[in-house]
Chain A
Amino acid sequence: EDQVTQSPEALRLQEGESSSLNCSYTVSGLRGLFWYRQDPGKGPEFLFTLYSAGEEKEKERLKATLTKKESFLHITAPKPEDSATYLCAVQAVLDQSSGDKLTFGTGTRLAVRP
């Protein structure tokens, strides 16, 4: 069964203090790894898709990287508005009955203090 583990569960940073969030995964075959941001009372908002080991994607202060076993979400000089829960999900190469479902981790709650 596909598994996604995110760490840490919670992270508190000072504004401008860079850090990384980890997503470890176990899948039969990775079709794609997705990062989402979720604000309180909202649905997850898509950030990135990574397809193969070595790939990197950037958006403003966020940079996502992928290896064969894990993905990192690097946050450079975060601001208070970056506070949210960051979710990682994998899409596996499965049989037709499994479709294109995403298996999510439990997320990292990030709080950035001014």
Chain B
Amino acid sequence: DTAVSQTPKYLVTQMGNDKSIKCEQNLGHDTMYWYKQDSKKFLKIMFSYNNKELIINETVPNRFSPKSPDKAHLNLHINSLELGDSAVYFCASGYGTPHSPLHFGNGTRLTVT
């Protein structure tokens, strides 16, 4: 009965590789997000999708590409991984309306060596 689930939980890879993180929500929400949490625990939005349409695209390198096959899924593909990409990536979902809270997954810890 997990609400927002991400896979994998841990991802260790080498510089230059391409990797993907998957996210699924079963809350019936229309909007999904990717947030990045750095080593100082600062959470910053990367992307948001509403019903498969890109709404927010913050200043993120174009090596990061979100893909939303349907409104319950939002995947994150990262090309040519760099050391600075190491962080915890959180998927979240919400109704996309004012005041509606976001529900977060438990994160994917990405380590680039």
Interface of A toward B, CB cutoff 8 Å: 31-32, 34, 36, 41-46, 49, 51, 85, 87, 89, 91, 97-104, 106-107
Contact = CB atoms under 8 A, between A and B. Distances in A.
23 contacts: A31-B99, A34-B101, A42-B106, A43-B104, A43-B106, A44-B90, A44-B104, A46-B103, A49-B99, A49-B101, A51-B99, A87-B43, A91-B98, A91-B99, A97-B56, A100-B31, A100-B97, A100-B98, A100-B100, A101-B33, A101-B48, A104-B43, A106-B41
B97 A43 contact: no
Contacts of A44: 43, 90, 102, 104
Contacts of B100: 100
A99 B92 CA distance: 14
B66 interface: no
A74 B85 CA distance: 36
A101 B102 CA distance: 10
B105 A100 contact: no
Interface in B4-30: 4
A87 B58 CA distance: 21
